[in-house]
Amino acid sequence: MKLVKAHGDSWELTEDGKLLTKSSSETLVSSAQMWWREHLDAWRNLDHTLRTGESYFEALYGKPFFEWLENRDEARQLYHESMREYARIDYVKVPEIINRYKPRHLIDIGGGTGILCEMILELNPEMKAYLLDKPSVIEEAEKVLKRSKHYTRLKFLKGDFFQLPEGDYDAAVLSRVLHDWG
């Protein structure tokens, strides 16, 4: 995996290895921990899913992933932190692209704990953002974003993807919401 390299009589972290430290600005510690747990068991049995069409995660844990996550505080926090980690790396250009259009009201549909909203608001001081997700996720987002300097420009919407609230939105984003909604 090339996470460490020899350096004289000792070892040092490679750039990839530094991603697994909390001190890295691009840390993936929570992501690595999340994928090493229950997800790994499900991925190890990908062949079952490919053969049967059934989710092995659901077969193994008795519920679909997000339903299973609802009642597991530690796993849910780890999941949300890993999504924030990915966003810091994956979405660097998204705020710049959105800012070209100068939207005034943006809705982030399924925006989790709001990292993308934060990143977009950072570049657009006139914008207001609406974060829409399931009630339990929005409760978590409100706690996480309470410390954000953009908190007063955020509105938290408890709901679901399929019943969008009416609003004066001139931009919408969806990120990491590709799932089997059956």
Q: What is the pLDDT of residue 179?
A: 65
For residues 105 and 171, what is the distance between their CA atoms, to the nearest angstrom? 7
Which two tokens mark 137?
Answer: 């996720």
Within the chain, all domains assigned CATH 3.40.50.150 are found at: 93-174
Question: What homologous superfamily is domain 93-174 in, according to CATH?
Answer: Vaccinia Virus protein VP39 (3.40.50.150)
Q: Please write the tens of the pLDDT for every residue from 26-61.
A: 888 888 898 888 889 888 999 999 999 998 999 999
pTM of the model: 0.82
For residues 54 and 63, what is the distance between their CA atoms, to the nearest angstrom? 12
Q: What is the pLDDT of residue 112?
A: 92
Q: Kindly give the parts of the chain with pLDDT less than 50.
A: 182
- From residue 162, give the alpha-carbon distance in Å to each of 2, 31, 65, 109, 128: 43, 28, 19, 10, 22
Q: 56-63: long-range contacts at Cβ-Cβ below 8 A with a sequence spacing of 24 or more?
A: none
What type of residue is 8? G
Q: Cα 129 from chain centroid?
A: 17
DSSP H or E stretch at residue 108:
strand 105-109
For residues 66 and 60, what is the distance between their CA atoms, to the nearest angstrom? 14
